[in-house]
Amino acid sequence: MNQLVVTKTRLQSGIWEGLVTGSGDTPPVLSVTHLENPLPDVTLTDAKDAGGWLLQIPVPVEAITDGIQTILITDTETGARLNSFTLIAGEALGDDLRAEVDLLRAELDMLKRAFRRHCIETA
């Protein structure tokens, strides 16, 4: 059997979508879990024009919470992790590197303004 590959195509309106390739005409058997619990309403439809299978995963309401939540997509037959996606919300963002970079940029802008003002006043 070929190696399965799951490639994200988009996340829109609460539905994560990806293209599954490597299984040929046979639908792959996948497991999609959050906190080790299988997710309901996951669909896999034939997408021959795209060269594989369209995987649609509705983001569960339980995964929209403070902190970091990860959804895992695995090959049921081999147990191999094929892909995953992470949701970050609420208080966890305070520790997020992107939030820290934004704070540093704001502080740098403030220092630049203060330095320019100092240069004008002392000139």
Query: For residue 69, what are the domain limits?
Result: 5-91
Q: Which helix (H) or strand (E) holds 71?
A: strand 67-75
Residue 79, in any domain of the structure: yes
Residue 8 clears pLDDT 60, i.e. is over it: yes
User: How many domains does one find in the chain?
Assistant: 1
| pLDDT of res. 34 | 94
| pLDDT of res. 119 | 94
CATH of the domain at 45: 2.60.40.1130
| pLDDT of res. 94 | 58
Residue 86, in any domain of the structure: yes
Residue 117, in any domain of the structure: no
Tokens of 81: 């992790």
Residue 70, in any domain of the structure: yes
3-state class of 45 per DSSP?
A: strand
Which tens digits make up the pLDDT trace of 38-73?
999 999 999 988 889 999 999 999 999 888 899 999
Tokens of 70: 């990860």
Which tens digits make up the pLDDT trace of 70-113?
999 999 998 899 999 999 887 655 566 776 777 788 788 888 88
More reliable by pLDDT, 101 or 22: 22
| pLDDT of res. 93 | 59
Residue 58, in any domain of the structure: yes
**Of the candidates 23, 86, 15, the residue with the CA atom closest to the CA atom of residue 6:** 23
| pLDDT of res. 110 | 81
| pLDDT of res. 92 | 57
Tokens of 101: 């970079």
